[in-house]
Amino acid sequence: MSTWERYINHFVSFLKIEKGLSENSVLAYERDVVKLKEYALPELEHPKDVTREELKSFINALVEVGLSARSQARIISGIKQFYNFLILEDEVKDDPSELIEMPKIGRKLPEVLSIEEIDNLIAAIDLSKKEGLRNRAILETLYSCGLRVSELINLKFSDLFLDEGFIRVTGKGNKQRLVPASPSVKNEIFTYKHEIRDFQDIKSGNEPYVFLNRRGAKLTRIMIFTIIRELSNKINLSKTISPHTFRHSFATHLLEGGANLRAIQEMLGHESITTTEIYTHLDQRFLREAILSYHPRNKK
């Protein structure tokens, strides 16, 4: 039994015996905490390892999957109850959920970065370090292709069709879509691969993945979040950002530039759109033209 499971079981007993909650209420609270556990593992092995920033990243993920403000509020409430319990039991000292606000109906969308802010973040990358070229390729790919962080870390070389101007993305439910890749993405991945990636010692089983850490293993969500947070601090960015911010900026900049909303939905890979619909509803050439015409990275 993992540390998370042990504490969740104790939490459930506390709700039943000491709080006297109904079975349905207990099950709802348990489901809420399990969602956080599944998001946090395997990087965060103990509930005390969850920071406020990582909890905000989890909440951004709830927004990304389209969860209603009411559903978000219920999950956050369950997590707050869980950490209140852990503090009561003296299992954690700091409550990461303490300053997390409950969402309101009509809550504002996540932060959007301006093109200048994105350029400043990328310019702040230290290219004298080996991971510099990798980090630059990561940020370009996140922004230019509008990927979820899970889609980025699972990107394989077999998914790259850069000469044709596309990458294949495996999204939620293993649904695949083709996303146009700008020349800047092609250039950054090419440079990273031929100057850094090709000379790495790679752990067995990690060979197919594009982005690796210094030990030759696939990157994790938390590592991507850390890269972005450090760059944000470096340029004194006032906005609170996460990997999702680049995805949201991608969609916002396309929409503001005049791109067709349906094309944006296809490229984001919303859950309501299946792999087959990519081919039956919109021609790939049309999607590519939308990226080339409206995304800032492709404008002369």
Active-site residue (options: 6, 279, 285, 299): 279
The answer to whether the beta carbons of residues 87 and 226 sit under 8 Å apart is no
Active site residue 253: no
Active-site residue (options: 37, 177, 221, 247): 247
User: In 3D, which of 271, 226, 277 has the Cα closest to residue 44?
Assistant: 226
Helix (H) or strand (E) holding 179: strand 176-180
Residues in contact with 255: Cβ distance below 8 Å, sequence separation at least 6, in sequence order = 261, 264
The answer to whether the beta carbons of residues 271 and 172 sit under 8 Å apart is yes
Q: Could you write out the DSSP letters of every residue in 225-253?
A: HHHHHHHHHHTT--S---HHHHHHHHHHH
How far apart CA 268 and CA 172 sit, in angstroms, is: 11
Q: Pinpoint the alpha helices (H) of the chain.
A: 3-17, 23-40, 52-64, 69-88, 115-123, 130-145, 149-153, 183-195, 221-234, 243-257, 261-268, 275-281, 284-294
- What are 169's strand-pairing partners? 177
Active site residue 148: yes
Active-site residue (options: 172, 194, 285, 299): 172
Active-site residue (options: 218, 244, 248, 295): 244
Active site residue 270: yes
Residue type, 122: I
User: In 3D, which of 152, 188, 185, 182 has the Cα closest to residue 170?
Assistant: 152
Active site residue 10: no
Active site residue 244: yes
Active-site residue (options: 37, 148, 248, 295): 148
Active site residue 279: yes
Residue type, 244: H
The answer to whether the beta carbons of residues 189 and 141 sit under 8 Å apart is yes
Query: Which active-site residues does the annotation give?
Result: 148, 172, 244, 247, 270, 279
